[in-house]
């Protein structure tokens, strides 16, 4: 496939390729130099990256808060034992 570059440096991605790559209007793409050519790929959003991670049964922030509460209880117990 050969396409002309417009006066603003724009090239239209063919619909077939957009569909294959899952690129929709408004999506961001990454352009990388690849030897003497250019590689175009869909940018990964933060939401897509988060969704790709294994999902835990609990929220990591909830786990952190619970851990901090346990630590405070432990520290309070130590402080009362050391208090004359």
DSSP string, 11-78: -PPPHHHHHHHT--TT--EEEEEETTEEEEEEPPPHHHHHHHSPPPSS-HHHHHHHHHHHHHHHHHHH
* Predicted confidence (pLDDT) at residue 62 exceeds the cutoff of 80: yes
Encode pLDDT of 4-40 as tens digits.
999 999 999 999 999 998 999 999 999 999 999 999 9
Q: What is the mean pLDDT of the chain?
A: 87
**pTM for the structure as a whole:** 0.50
Percent over 70 (pLDDT), the chain: 96
């Amino acid at each position: 496939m050969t396409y002309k570059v417009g006066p603003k440096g724009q090239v239209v991605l063919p619909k077939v390729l957009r569909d294959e790559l899952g690129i929709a209007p408004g999506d961001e793409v990454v352009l990388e130099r690849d030897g003497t050519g250019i590689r175009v790929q869909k940018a990964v959003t933060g939401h897509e990256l988060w969704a790709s991670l294994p999902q835990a049964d609990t929220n990591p922030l909830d786990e952190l808060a619970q851990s901090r509460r346990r630590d405070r209880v432990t520290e309070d117990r130590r402080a009362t034992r050391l208090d004359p």
